[in-house]
A = this chain, B = another copy of it.
């Protein structure tokens, strides 16, 4: 791969939109304001002031919150607690590749339900449930879904909650992108709409503070959180108190609002540049511009091999993730473009390279 490769592969922010000064200041305050809390073991529920801050954000009781080492770790605890080998688990089609991998590793019977531009196909899910599907869990990424960038509509949020209550499954609302909406109106979380303890909610500070800080959290019914807390204690005694006290100071000082504003404005510019570049250089690409988050799903004409495109793109110095990685089967003509890590001045060049790779494919010529 050329050394100046432009990578649309990783869902991570470029360094220019991380508030390094704010983090440095927050660290200084953490060690000054609460040296004992930052440096001692603490307990597996997480750093108490941060737990309280999160509880206030979601208007829930503190006992409903467990702060973890990143939200992937929260997912792992939740899956270990709620999913046994053989259990049916509903996921979106396509969905986050690591979720797919971890559920498959646990021996779950993964049932993919089509994702539409307004979220999971609830009619199809309803039909499957009527046909006897009895999932332990439905994993839903409601806002700016990874990999598709689509957002679950309010009507579908309501419908999912009704289905969960009726059929007795848990909705795992996996929501790390919620705060980085740059257009359109925010929708309420299913957690906040839930009246039957159907929802377990996860989020993270990876997209609003930085990924290297590895702080995520779960919100759920107190009994479930207490159960997961025991798993957490036995796994690592306590999560990272230094990191969590830094996040707390970052949040309490208001730095997080400035950070979110920076991220949102950069992402909005990048989506605009990305869609413009696709329209200019690769008009065959079909997509729905996301209203927030890091990702855009791109479909190429039927018959185009994205696996071949991947190799041709690599040679030309541009990277992305193949759509097939987010599916159990199919997706051969789709790809995920992550625009979070590519600055505006590189986007057009990256898409030109991608278009050049596309033109080099014999299948593309045939499909065009």
Residues of A within 8 A of B (CB): 10, 12, 15, 18, 20, 23-24, 27-28, 31-32, 35-42, 69-70, 72-73, 76, 98, 101-102, 105, 206, 210-214, 234-243, 245-246
A238–B214 Cα distance when bound, in Å, is 8
A244 to chain B, nearest CB (A): 9
Cβ-defined contact, A76 with B235, below 8 A = yes
Minimal Cβ-Cβ distance residue in B for A27: B27
Which residue in chain B gives the minimum CB-CB distance to A36?
Answer: B15
Q: State whether B39 touches A15 (Cβ < 8 A).
A: yes
B39 with A70: CB separation less than 8 A: no
Partner of A35, one of B15, B235, B241: B15
Q: Give chain B nearest CB distance to A70 CB in angstroms.
A: 5
Q: Which residue of B lies closest to A19 (CB)?
A: B39
Contact B211 A41 (CB under 8 A): yes
Closest to A12 in B: B41
Do A70 and B18 form a contact, CB below 8 Å, given A23-B31, A27-B28? Answer: no
B-side contacts of A243, CB under 8 Å: 240, 242-243
Listed A/B pairs (8) with beta-carbon separation below 8 Å: A10-B41, A23-B242, A37-B212, A40-B210, A72-B236, A212-B238, A213-B241, A242-B243
Q: Is the interface of A mostly helix, strand, loop or mixed?
A: helix
Minimum CB distance partner of A35 in chain B: B20
Chain B's nearest CB lies how many Å from the CB of A324? 19
Of the candidates B10, B12, B102, B246, the one whose C-beta lies within 8 Å of that of A242 is B246
Q: Select the residue from A98, A105, A236 with max chain B CB neighbours within 10 A.
A: A236
In the complex formed, the residue of B with least CB distance to A216 is B236
CB <8 Å contact, A213 and B240: yes
Contacts of A76 in B (CB 8 A): 234-236
Residues of B within 8 A of A213 (CB): 39, 240-242
In the bound complex, do residue B28 and residue A12 qualify as a contact, i.e. CB atoms below 8 Å apart? no
Nearest-neighbour CB distance to chain B for A255, whole angstroms, equals 13
A242: which B residues are within 8 A, CB to CB?
23, 27, 210, 212-214, 242-243, 246
Chain B residue with Cβ nearest A68: B236
Q: Quick check: B40 and A212 within 8 Å, CB to CB?
A: yes
